């Protein structure tokens, strides 16, 4: 919806207006429709608006009736109408129709506990003048981002990291343990970032900062893992349909056109099917495919869903030239390395959607709620292999699976995870870039010195220690809900959709649905090698079976063939250049060997090489230049492969 920034100085120093102006300028893509600031002694609030609800009176920063409570807010609160009725019955008076004002009155009424009453996605900062404190909160699942840092004695926060650099005293410096963690996990787990001194507010947390200091508090986590629901399959199916329909219906709240990103997978297709049932008009759907041979494009399935649901369908085809052209720009938008290659097609399809809509619904969260990734089904096998005596385990893994040909990437990932008997290390390795010995061989001594402080397992060990889940599958799901989902997938969707000035909403992450799904028995999620059992059963009711009953492809960018073909020169020229090798991060001979492995077809290292490539591009965007300048704006044409005439 928007971009926000806030400055608080406990000594009463006010920010310079140009600092707030610079912060909002860096966030203009998040809110091209309006801007505003509020400054008084000790506080500055800045805002960029993407107008979606209450177009006429939704300006921010917004205050209560007497100007003692001010807010800047990014997101949507879907139950704000119900909350408004309750708050008005308690004497609160509204001047707008916006959900923003509901948060202000909810804070007046319930204080910090107001966040527990909000249903939606949000990140906001509230200035409480009587108490001389700033109250900052982020939604339960981490759909909307919020970063913070110190600028001297002042506290600053913003929707994106780049906005923090508008405030003097916030350095652009590398946090070396974060580099190690990123190389391992392909993201930096909350609360850390790759920047020294800059943190993410963790999902489900709020903080207060005043003259006494800063205090953070968790206000939500999934606690409903036990006892499991006593439901037969028929009742579970009915309840899932009811809950998902309610979640989608709530997210149709908008005063501007909305549509859906349709990948052709089960999750996004199911969202489109529910939207079609809720709306009295055709849904606008937008899909992206890849100009590459092999099983990389799901456009045929997206078209099948579009025909079945009678949507107004448009699509785009992404080629290697699009990736090369957009990489520098999107490195700037993402703030941290583009760990997910799918970020680039996500941006391009969001830009296509922006031509006709401002809001899109997406399918993020289905895999993490209902165990859709293959790793959930094969983790028991990896766990058994990990328990084998070391000599036998080495025989099977080191001398067996590791020597398989180029095309056995997935089996090699299973084998890599099975090397770790420790639960946290094994779970961390499933989506990892470099794990275990491979990472240790790569790191040069200056970076290896930080490896102990950035153990791949550390974030997972914390998540597993905090979780209320006790069953192996539940513990795996909860760790992904806390780490992989907010720090990787949701970050990608937020940054790439907002780069195109599009708001993305995620119905599968409605927190009542998340809590209900946690209480489902394992049999409704995984049976044998089949995942998302209950969700797929619902999908078969509302979608063609051919869309549901097919192997999971995922939103996979064809990096493996592109790195061996048209991206070969870019890969080598970037990773083996003096600038990259001169950072002292890697052992040059090992890095060259990893590049050669892939180029020669000995082993598929596309994931690892993308991790290295985007990390180097991040350095060149944020660390090397003395001045941080956004790349030039793209042309108005979505992409060379745009196919706006594709119908259902």
Residues annotated as catalytic are 2
What ranges in 91-232 are assigned the alpha helix state H? 99-110, 161-164, 176-185
User: What gap in Å lies between CA 630 and CA 596, rounded to an integer?
Assistant: 33
Terminal Cα distance for the chain, rounded: 29
**360-to-353, 357, 389 alpha-carbon distances in Å:** 8, 7, 51
Which residues, 6 or more positions from 506, have their beta carbon under 8 angstroms from its beta carbon?
Answer: 121, 141, 143, 361, 362, 363, 364, 365, 490, 493
* Angle in degrees, CA 105, 486, 434, rounded to 5: 160
Residue indicated by tokens 């995942």: 531
Closest to 287 in 3D by CA, of 338, 363, 340, 341: 363
For residue 482, give every residue at least 6 positions away whose Cβ sits within 8 Å of its Cβ, in sequence order, or none: 203, 463, 466, 467
Strand partners, 49: 2, 34
Distance of alpha carbon 422 from alpha carbon 468, whole angstroms: 19
Q: In what order do the strands lie in the sheet with 205-210?
A: 62-63, 69-77, 120-128, 133-138, 205-210, 213-218
> With contact defined as beta carbons under 8 Å apart, do 514 and 366 qualify?
no
Q: Is residue 444 packed enough to be buried (19+ CB in 10 Å), middle (13-18) or exposed (0-12)?
A: middle
């Amino acid at each position: 919806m928007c971009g926000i920034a806030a400055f608080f100085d406990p000594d009463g120093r006010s920010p310079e207006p140009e600092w707030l102006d610079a912060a909002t300028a860096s966030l203009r893509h998040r809110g091209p429709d309006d801007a505003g600031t509020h400054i008084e002694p000790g506080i500055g609030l800045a805002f960029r608006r993407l107008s979606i609800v209450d177009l006429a009176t939704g300006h921010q920063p917004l205050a209560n009736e007497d100007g003692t409570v001010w807010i800047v807010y990014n997101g949507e609160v879907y139950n704000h109408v119900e909350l408004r009725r309750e708050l008005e019955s308690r004497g609160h008076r509204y001047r707008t129709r916006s959900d923003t004002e509901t948060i202000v009155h909810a804070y007046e009424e319930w204080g910090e506990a107001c966040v527990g009453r909000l249903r939606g996605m949000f990140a906001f900062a509230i200035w409480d003048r009587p108490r001389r404190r700033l109250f900052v909160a982020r939604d339960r699942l981490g759909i909307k981002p919020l970063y913070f840092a110190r600028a001297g004695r002042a506290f600053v926060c913003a929707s994106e990291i780049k906005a923090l650099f508008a405030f003097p005293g916030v350095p652009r410096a590398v946090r070396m343990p974060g580099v190690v963690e990123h190389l391992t996990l392909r993201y930096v787990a909350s609360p850390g970032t790759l920047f020294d001194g800059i943190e993410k507010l963790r999902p489900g947390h709020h903080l207060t900062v005043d003259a006494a200091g800063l205090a953070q508090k968790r206000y939500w986590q999934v606690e409903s893992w036990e006892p499991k629901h006593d439901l037969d399959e028929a009742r579970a199916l009915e309840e899932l349909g009811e809950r998902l329909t309610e979640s989608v219906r709530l997210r149709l709240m908008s005063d501007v056109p909305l549509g859906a990103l349709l990948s052709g997978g089960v999750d996004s297709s199911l969202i489109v099917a529910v939207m079609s049932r809720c709306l009295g008009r055709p849904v606008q759907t937008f899909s992206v495919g890849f100009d590459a041979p092999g099983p990389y494009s799901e456009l045929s399935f997206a078209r099948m869903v579009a025909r079945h649901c009678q949507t107004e369908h448009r699509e785009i085809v992404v080629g290697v030239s699009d990736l090369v052209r957009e990489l520098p720009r999107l490195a700037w938008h993402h703030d941290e390395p583009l760990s997910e290659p799918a970020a680039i097609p996500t941006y391009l399809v969001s830009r296509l959607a922006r031509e006709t809509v401002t809001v899109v619904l997406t399918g993020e969260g289905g895999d993490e709620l209902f165990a859709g990734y293959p790793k959930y089904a094969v983790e028991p096998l990896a766990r058994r292999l990990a328990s084998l005596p070391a000599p036998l385990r080495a025989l099977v893994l080191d001398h067996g699976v590791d020597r398989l040909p180029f095309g056995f990437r997935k089996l090699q990932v299973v084998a890599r995870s099975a090397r770790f008997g420790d639960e946290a290390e094994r779970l961390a390795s499933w989506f990892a870039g470099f794990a275990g010995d491979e990472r240790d061989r790569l790191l040069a001594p200056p970076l290896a010195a930080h490896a102990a402080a950035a153990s791949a397992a550390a974030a997972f060990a914390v998540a597993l220690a905090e979780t209320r889940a006790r069953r192996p599958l539940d513990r795996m799901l909860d760790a992904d809900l806390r780490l992989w989902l907010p720090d990787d997938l949701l970050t990608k969707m937020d940054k790439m959709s907002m780069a195109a000035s599009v708001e993305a909403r995620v119905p599968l992450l409605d927190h009542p649905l998340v809590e209900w799904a946690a209480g489902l028995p394992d049999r409704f999620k995984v049976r044998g090698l089949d995942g998302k059992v209950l969700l797929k059963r619902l999908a078969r009711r509302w979608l063609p079976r051919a869309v549901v009953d097919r192997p999971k492809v995922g939103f996979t960018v064809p990096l493996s063939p592109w790195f061996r073909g048209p991206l070969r020169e870019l890969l080598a020229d970037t990773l083996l250049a003096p600038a990259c090798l001169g950072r002292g991060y890697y052992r040059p001979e090992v890095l060259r060997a990893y590049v050669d492995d892939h180029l020669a077809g000995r082993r598929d290292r596309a994931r690892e090489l993308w991790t290295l490539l985007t990390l180097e591009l991040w350095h060149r965007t944020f660390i090397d230049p003395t001045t941080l300048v956004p790349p030039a704006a793209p042309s108005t044409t979505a992409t060379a492969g745009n196919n706006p005439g594709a119908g259902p």
